[in-house]
Structures are given as structure tokens and as C-alpha cells.
Amino acid sequence: MSQYGKVTATLPGQTGNNTHPSVELPPDFEQSILNFVVEAIGATPTVTYKWQVSFDGPEVSDANSLWFDAQYTVPLDTAETFVATTRVRTTVSSDPLSPYLGAKVKSIPRKIRLVTTANTNVTYRGEALGRDQD
């Protein structure tokens, strides 16, 4: 029977521009949703973010891992177009993305990390939601 789980990519209450440390994805974690949550904003808020994935194991340091910008489907894109562009958020909201994490090639990343830039007055967190394989 499948179970749904969550992997915390960052602790709540993050601020600033960061390349967060990686978190390991469970080996049977599939159909993931990468969720960027803006928890609070101040005056003139903006933050740019992207998710990165690596197929290197957790025994390989982040500095020595090969990182790729995660491709995802644009929400409500019926053509299933995959892109790897940064996203911008300016309001308190959740931005769940359906990433292309090996769906067609069966290559599931071993770890993920969140990268934020151009952060002005935004507090956020990141998480991965997924389903364990049957």
C-alpha cells in the first residue's frame, strides 16, 4: 500500500539568499511535488528561487556533487511542457511544482536542494511531497 510523505528541504522561517544544504530523497520516493512556501512578507517583497537535483548519493558532499536545475511542468499546462526556469514569488502563498524527476527515464534523483536569490523581505520554507512506491 502506498503512503504519502514529506521531506523538509529547509526549516521554516528562512530569509536571505541561500543555496541550502541538500536533503536526501528516500529511494522509493516518487511522484514528488516540490513546494516553495512564502510564509511572510514585508515591504516591496520579492524572491526568486529554483530547485536543483543531484543523482549523487548522500556520501558525496554538495560541493562535489553534480547539480542540475530541476525541470517541472508549468501549472495548468496541458501540453506537459517541461522548463527549468527560476520562479518569482511576491505574495504569501504556496507554489507547488510537479517536477520531471525521472518520470519517463526512471532516473530518480538521490537528493535535492533549494536555491534562493534576489530575496527582499520574504520569509519562506521548502518541502518535497511524494508517494512511496507500492
- Express each pLDDT in 73-117 by its tens digit: 765 555 666 677 788 888 898 888 766 554 444 567 889 999 999
pLDDT for the residue 1: 38
- Express each pLDDT in 9-50 by its tens digit: 999 999 999 999 999 988 777 667 888 999 999 999 999 999
List the beta bridge partners of residue 43.
none
130 or 4, which is more confident? 130
- Domain residue extents for the chain: 4-132
pLDDT for the residue 99: 66
For residue 108, give the nearest of 125, 83, 133 by alpha carbon.
133
For residue 48, give the nearest of 116, 102, 99, 128 by alpha carbon.
116
4-132 folds as: Jelly Rolls (2.60.120)
